[in-house]
Copies of this chain bind each other. A is one copy, B any other.
Amino acid sequence: MALNETGGRRIGPETRERVRAAAAELGYRPNTVARGLRTRRTQMIGFVGDDVATTPFAGQMIRGAHDAAREAGFLLLMIDTSGDKAETEEAIGALQERQIDGILLATMYHQVVEVPAVIGSTPCVLLDARTADGSASSVVPDERGGTLGVLAELTGAGHTRIGHITTTEDVEARAIRLATWRERVAANGLDPDDLLIEIDQATTRPAHEGALRLLSRPDRPTAVFCFNDRVAMGVYRAAAELGLSVPEDLSVVSYDDQELIAPELQPGLTSAALPHYQMGRWAVVELLRRLDDPETAPVQHLMPCPVAKRDSVSPPR
């Protein structure tokens, strides 16, 4: 009573001070386990990631969740699964046994998932994933907004013939980025199919080949929007081999803004950033809100993808 502010006026100010002094002298620290047993609150949040937790790509998601949690006096209890369903359920169980106050379910990349039934009534927020029916709170990147953002960089510089290199992998990001680009190109009165290259993996090597094809066409585009930064790396290489310099002969924009690629390429790559840090923060704030008031309706949030402007865009020749 003396140490906590709660139970306020049950103790005199002078006695309170004496108790506090004694506690300080003895180096007393409250035992959170005992407190948790009594209050049924552990001030811990479970973070379940399918490989995300320890993958370079989305470390910022943990960072964001961690920071927001810390500010509210919570700690993160992390479990990384390989995305396997059984493993995820086991992870959730392990966290529930430890009486975590809520769970963050994070995925490696933006996708639609179902919340495992074992979650029961444990408050839960989806990170970089959403449910089909909106039954759980979730936050995902605003891929459409980000795509419009980088395309605006190009159109703003005067480009209309904007190519796109995407992957055939069936992911949410591909679908949205592709559709948004198509819309934009069609709005310029061009046929998107003349400017589209599909490769079977969004990595440098296939992108390199794809880019060689795209840039060898008689009416090659003056700018390329790449599905991601690794694809952009392949485009840079292809451009160099064809004697095209970036951005003078070819403007390039991309998505993801990966810290080891986009700023390191020469010239620096203009790329729409995946707001992992912000999503992590948002998810915790939302989770805490739901802890306070479990009755409120779940929220689906789209996090803006800011454009990191660098030097890969200039007006067409």
Give A contacts to B, CB under 8 Å: 29-34, 36-37, 42, 44, 53-57, 59-60, 62-63, 66, 70, 75-80, 93-99, 203-205, 208, 230, 233, 237, 240, 258-261, 264, 266
Q: How far is the CA of A77 from the CA of B57 in the complex (A)?
A: 21
| Inter-subunit contact B53/A56 (CB<8 Å) | no
Between-chain CB contacts (< 8 Å), 26 pairs: A29-B96, A29-B97, A31-B97, A33-B36, A33-B37, A33-B98, A53-B59, A53-B63, A53-B66, A54-B59, A54-B60, A56-B56, A62-B78, A66-B79, A75-B77, A75-B79, A75-B94, A75-B95, A76-B77, A76-B78, A77-B77, A203-B264, A204-B266, A230-B264, A233-B264, A260-B261
Closest chain B CB from A317 CB (angstroms): 23
Closest chain B CB from A109 CB (angstroms): 15
Q: Which 9 residue pairs are nearest across A and B when measured between Cβ atoms?
A: A56-B56, A54-B63, A54-B59, A32-B98, A260-B260, A33-B99, A32-B97, A33-B36, A54-B62
- A56 / chain B contacts, CB cutoff of 8 Å: 56-57, 59, 259-260
Which single residue of chain B is at the shortest CB-CB distance from A258? B260
- A266 / chain B contacts, CB cutoff of 8 Å: 204-205, 208, 237
- A60 / chain B contacts, CB cutoff of 8 Å: 54
Report how many copies the assembly holds.
2
| Inter-subunit contact B42/A33 (CB<8 Å) | yes
Q: How far is the CA of A44 from the CA of B76 in the complex (A)?
A: 12
Closest chain B CB from A166 CB (angstroms): 19
